[in-house]
Amino acid sequence: MDFQPTEDQKALRDGIRSFCEGQVPNERYPELEKSKGFDRALWSELAEMGIFSLRLPESEGGVGLGYADSVLVFEELGRRLVPGPLVWSQLAAGLVKGAADGTAVVGGLDQIGGGDGPCMVEHLESLDVLLVLRDDGVYQIAPRTLQGELVEFPLDPLTPVHHVKSLPKGEKIADAARAKRLRLEGAALVAGQQLGLAEGALDLANEYAKGREQFGRTIGSFQAVKHMLAEMFVRQEAARAGAYNAGATLDAPEVADVERAVSAAKITAGEAAIRNGRSCIQVHGGMGFTWEVLAHYYFKRAWVLENLFGTQDEHAEKIADLLTVQVQA
Amino acid sequence: MDLRYTPEEQKFRRELASWLASEVPSYGTPPSVHDWPARRAYDTGWQKKLFDAGYAGINWPKEYGGRDATLIEQLIYFEEIAKANAPYVGCNFVGVLHGGPTIMAEGTPDQKAKHIRNIISGAEVWCQGFSEPVAGSDLAGLQTKAVRDGDHYVVNGHKIWTTFAQIADYCELLVRTDPTAPKHKGISWLIMPMNLPGIDIRPLPTLEGEGEFSEVFLENVRIPVENLVGKENDGWRVTNVTLRFERGTAFASEMINLQAFVRGLVKLAQKITSHGATAWEDKALRRELGHLSGELESLWAMVKLSVCEAKASGVPGVGASAVKLYYSELYQKITELGLRLLGRAGLSRSDVAGLPAQHLLNRHLNSLSISIAAGTSQIQKNIIGERILGQAKDPAPAKA
């Protein structure tokens, strides 16, 4: 067993990190906000980097990498708050034409266990295809056939949402097992993004606490603040282990229960993203409550991702179900 | 990031599991916690069995009789020990985990010849004389004094939290040999035979009502100079050498036990009924236990990650403090659920009405020590804040 990222994986992560830093520096957020979190040129660049085709076999024009590699990539996308239906578009590679090369922007809805009633759809105006996971399979819907209303004030300034009254049936493109599988994969990839958010929020808060002085000392030298930062670090490390564990278990399902690993990742990374976002605001004091400091972007995105592919509560119930089966055995 | 075990690692696991399956059931159950001689015999007897089978000193070098297992094998070892419900390291703890490794690294040839084999084979029991009433988290502030008198040190002082002092043969003792030097520079590491005149051991009952702690009062105890390990006044460095032996596997067995504990809570919740439904049908409980069980899964992944990092770098992973903090909090939350399930049955520390009150209460009461022992959670947070995140230290208070 060697659970550490390999040299190749570290190189992949570093490459994506510097790409994201170059493409989405802090100064770009106001501009991205104006374009409602979507920029086709950026999307093409992301596709060019292989982000959507990462797990597609080389024979199908993909990069041919695995789930753990993808988790590392999504960690970096999360760290820089890169907007857009990133996870859905990677899930759609190989399933929807154009998803892998970025010519089709694919979003989605996870309706497993739900109906076709009113729902919230992210990035609707930017989508070429909307995927819907239902109990009986994966469906593809043309976004323009949806009757929806753009929400005037979305929670995350970079994640526009539509309130859609009802979902048309669409065209079935894969079976129930595939739908269930995509939900599982999606949760693992989102956990990677949530880990990145937790890290980004800690970095921001940590740097601020080193520079900001009150009472003649940096605020990070006060244990009350230092311990808050340490708690953010612990959550980040738990999220890292959880998210990597989900990716590595998806890559080698013979070693452990994939469902348990993925649910654990979604729980620990979800908690880390939300709580680190909140602590990042707190460490910044009054400035943390302003629009101009990035802290609120981390916090708000964390809540967007919490509601993708199962909340912490849903995954906790899933683990409870798995425990029930385990004790009966 | 590969979670698959190599064929060698799988072979190690299979052989150990099969040895444990044949030895553990026949070894018998632990004696009463109040029967000290029997406890010593039980713990050291198991250590001898491990030694004879080649499973003692799992991280010790082969030249000292150890297994010299890789860190991954050590992780497997603690996992299998826990799964087999094998005896805990018990009173061999200090010798095998601290005293022995320190002597290996810093001891003279005579000291090594005298102690190493006895420690690993369960013939010698050690205790630790580090903490003092005035030196807890700030260990380097210790005040027990050792004054040179010919070929002896004359030691006076007061140690506390000394586990298994009642049955120990030797004590790894930290003393101040230079009161004028800065606090880290005047400390020495001595081997103290526990049968010397002037040692007074007074049990210090824990909030569990029993336990292994004692206070040790030292009055003009004469320790031969040949029992000095390392150089005089170099004891702080000597003490920290052993930390290199501890690379993230410390709580591995307890974590596996905790997974079994969670399954036990599920079974209990299925049995307890109130208002016509079992506790396990309560959605809030299922969510809470499911959440904690998910955190436990991530904790175990954290241990694997930190062990693999330590294996690659040769030094403890920076995350060891994070693992300890996360583990302490999780342990307390999970065992607290036991008390909540018991409700008023938990007013008793013996089993009542068919409910395992004794076990559940003991586990939760014990959990309260985890965030204190081996560096309190607050100290761990300082370590993370300062050494990992690079925040400034608290300035020392201004002198009045």
Are A323 and B287 a contacting pair at CB < 8 A?
no
CA–CA distance, B234 with B253 (Å, rounded to integer): 33
List CB contacts (< 8 A) between A225 and chain B: 391
pLDDT at site B275:
87
Which pLDDT score is estimated for A109?
96
| Chain A residues with beta carbon closer than 8 angstroms to that of B4 | 1, 252, 254-255
Residue A93: pLDDT over 80: yes
Q: A328 vs chain B: nearest CA distance in angstroms?
A: 9
DSSP conformation letters of A203-257 = HHHHHHHHH-EETTEEGGGSHHHHHHHHHHHHHHHHHHHHHHHHHHHHH-TTSS-
The answer on pLDDT for A327 being more than 70 is yes
Rounded-to-integer distance, Cα A153 and Cα A293, Å: 19
- Cβ-Cβ contacts under 8 Å, A326 against chain B: 263, 266
Nearest to A238 among B263, B295, B395 (CB): B295
Q: How far apart are the first and last CA of chain A?
A: 27
**In the block, which residue shows the tokens 């739908």?**
A179
Q: What is the pLDDT of residues A215-271, one digit of tens each?
A: 999 999 999 999 999 999 999 999 999 999 999 999 999 999 999 999 999 999 999
pLDDT, chain B, mean: 93
Distance separating alpha carbons of residues A261 and A249, to the nearest angstrom: 7
- The answer to whether residue A186 sits within a structural domain is yes
Q: Is residue A266 part of a domain?
A: yes
CA distance B141 to B143: 6
Check if the beta carbon of residue B269 is closer than 8 Å to that of residue B280: yes
User: What's the whole-number mean pLDDT along residues B151-164?
Assistant: 96
Q: Are A313 and B284 in contact (CB under 8 A)?
A: no
Residue B208 has which token pair? 């569990």
Listed by start position, the domains of chain B span 7-88, 126-237, 247-388
Least confident of A27-41, A117-131, B82-96, B266-280: A27-41
- C-beta separation of A92 from A211 below 8 A: no
| pLDDT at B17 exceeding the cut of 90 | yes
To the nearest whole Å, the CA of B277 is away from the closest chain A CA by 16
Using an 8 Å CB-CB cutoff, list chain B residues near A324: 266, 280
Structure confidence at residue B317 (pLDDT): 64
- DSSP class of residue B343 equals G
Chain B residues within 8 A of A220 when measuring between CB atoms:
385, 389, 391-392
Is residue B42 scored above 80 in pLDDT? yes
**Could you give the CA distance from residue A212 to residue A206 in angstroms, rounded to a whole number?**
10
β partners of residue B156 = B145
In order, the DSSP letters of B287-303 are: HHHHHHHHHHHHHHHHH
Between the alpha carbon of residue B305 and those of residues A315, B319, B381, the distances in Å are 23, 9, 20
Q: How far is A5 from chain B (nearest CA, A)?
A: 5
Coil, helix or strand at residue A94: coil
Would you say B215 and B159 are in contact if contact means Cβ atoms under 8 Å apart? yes
CA dist A310 → A77, A176, A186, A305 (Å): 20, 17, 10, 9
Reported confidence tier of residue B33, pLDDT bands at 50, 70, 90: confident
pLDDT at B249: 74
- Which chain B residues are closer than 8 Å to A254 by Cβ? 4
Q: Which residue range forms the structural domain that includes residue A278?
A: 178-328
- A141 in Cβ contact with A116 (< 8 Å): no
> Which of B1, B9, B72 is nearest residue A244 as measured by Cβ atoms?
B1
Mean of pLDDT values over A145-169: 94
Q: Per-residue pLDDT tens for B295-344?
A: 999 999 999 998 898 888 776 666 788 999 999 999 999 999 999 999 99
Distance from B213 to chain A by nearest Cα, in Å? 30
Match 């103290």 to its residue by tokens: B192
| pLDDT, position B274 | 84
Tokens linked to B351: 């089993």
> By C-alpha distance, which of B113, B211, B229, B99 is closest to B175?
B229
In the prediction, which pLDDT does B248 show? 63
Is a pLDDT exceeding 80 seen at residue B256? yes
Q: What is the dihedral of CA B152, B157, B162, B167, to 10 degrees?
A: 50
3-state SS, residue B10: helix
B391 to A221: CB separation less than 8 angstroms, yes or no: yes
Under DSSP, the state recorded for B249 is -
A229: which chain B residues are within 8 Å (Cβ-Cβ)?
384-385, 389, 391
pLDDT at B34: 84
How confident is the model over A174-221, as pLDDT tens digits? 999 999 999 999 999 999 999 999 999 999 999 999 999 999 999 999
Give me the phi and psi of B178, to 5 degrees please.
-135, 95
What percentage of chain B reaches a pLDDT higher than 70?
97
CA distance linking residue B126 with residue B121, whole number of Å: 13
Residue A213: strand pairing partners: A218
Over residues B88-116, the mean pLDDT reads 94
Q: Report the pLDDT value the prediction gives residue B326, as an integer from 0 to 100.
A: 96
B130 compared with A117, residue with greater pLDDT: B130
Residue B382 is nearest to which of A223, A268, A315, comparing CB atoms? A223
**What is the per-residue pLDDT across A270-311, written as a single tens digit (0 to 9) for each?**
999 999 999 999 999 999 999 999 999 999 999 999 999 999
Examine the pLDDT at B246 and tell me if it is beyond 60. Answer: no
Residue B89 has pLDDT above 70, yes or no: yes
Higher pLDDT, B254 or B297: B297
Binned at pLDDT 50, 70 and 90, residue B253 comes out as confident
Q: Which CATH architecture has domain B247-388?
A: Up-down Bundle (1.20)
- What does the pLDDT look like over B100-112, one tens digit per residue? 999 999 999 999 9
Please indicate whether, in this complex, the C-beta atoms of A2 and B2 are within 8 angstroms of each other. Answer: yes
Q: What is the rounded radius of gyration, in angstroms, for the C-alpha atoms of chain B?
A: 22
User: B56, B43 in Cβ contact below 8 A?
Assistant: no
Give A36-82 as a 3 state SS string: CCCCHHHHHHHHHCCCCCCCCCHHHCCCCCCHHHHHHHHHHHHHCCC
- Chain A residues within 8 A of B296 when measuring between CB atoms: 264
* CA dist., res. A239 & res. A264, Å (int): 9
B399 has a pLDDT exceeding 80: no
Mutation test of the interface with chain A: which of B262, B391, B393, B394, choosing the one with the most A Cβ atoms within 10 A?
Answer: B391
Chain A residue at shortest CA distance from B269: A324
- Give the Cα separation of B59 and B296 in Å (integer): 25
Nearest-by-Cβ selection for A324 from B266, B298, B385: B266
Cα distances from A58 to residues A33, A62, A64, B137, in angstroms, run: 35, 5, 5, 56
> What is B7-88's CATH topology?
Butyryl-Coa Dehydrogenase, subunit A; domain 1 (1.10.540)
Q: Which residue in B9, B391, B393 is closest to A229 by CB distance?
A: B391
Query: Both ends of chain B: CA-CA distance in Å?
Result: 55
Please check the confidence at residue B141 and state whether its pLDDT lies above 80: yes
**Residues linked to residue A148 through DSSP beta bridges, in sequence order:** A164
Inter-chain CB proximity B1 and A238 less than 8 Å: no
CB contacts, 8 Å: B288 with chain A: 316
The answer to the question of residue A110 being in a domain is no
Instruction: Closest CB to B290: pick one of A225, A240, A320.
Output: A320
- What six digits make up the tokens of A115? 């109906």
Q: Which of B297, B306, B324 to probe the A interface (max A CBs under 10 A)?
A: B297
Which of these ranges, A154-163, B47-56, B314-323, has the smallest mean pLDDT?
Answer: B314-323
Cβ pair A276, A310 in contact under 8 A: no
Question: Count of domains in chain A?
Answer: 1
Pairing of strands A171-175, B228-229: unpaired
Question: In percent, how much of chain B has pLDDT > 90?
Answer: 83
How remote is the C-alpha of A20 from its chain's centroid?
A: 15
Note the pLDDT of residue B244: 57
In the predicted structure, residue B75 carries a pLDDT above the cut 60? yes
Q: Which of A106, A79, A77 is nearest to A90 (CA)?
A: A106
Helix or strand or coil: residue A318?
Answer: helix
Tokens read off for A241:
């282990």
CATH fold, domain B126-237, is Butyryl-CoA Dehydrogenase, subunit A; domain 2 (2.40.110)
Residue A323 lies in a domain: yes
Q: Confidence band (pLDDT; 50, 70, 90) for A30?
A: confident
Cross-strand bridge partners of residue B192: B171
Report yes or no for ipTM above 0.90: yes
Shortest distance between the Cα of B365 and any Cα of chain A, in A, equals 24
CA distance A40 to chain B (A): 33
Q: Phi, psi (5° rounding) for residue A171?
A: -110, 130
Number of helices (H) and strands (E) in chain B: give both, helices first: 12, 10
DSSP code string of B41-52: HHHHHHHHHHHH
Contact list in A for residue B390 (CB cut-off 8 A) is: 206, 210
Q: Determine, yes or no, domain membership for A145.
A: no
Alpha helices in chain B (DSSP H): 7-27, 36-53, 71-83, 93-94, 100-106, 109-120, 235-241, 252-271, 283-313, 320-342, 357-370, 377-383
CATH code, domain with A314: 1.20.140.10
Give a yes or no: residue A138 inside a domain: no
Give the distance from residue B15's alpha carbon to the nearest chain A alpha carbon, in angstroms: 18
At A20, the pLDDT band (50, 70, 90 cuts) reads: very high
Instruction: Decide if pLDDT at B400 tops 70.
Output: no
Residue among A187, A284, A190, A189 at smallest CA distance from A232: A284
What is the tens place of the pLDDT at every residue in A107-116? 999 999 888 8
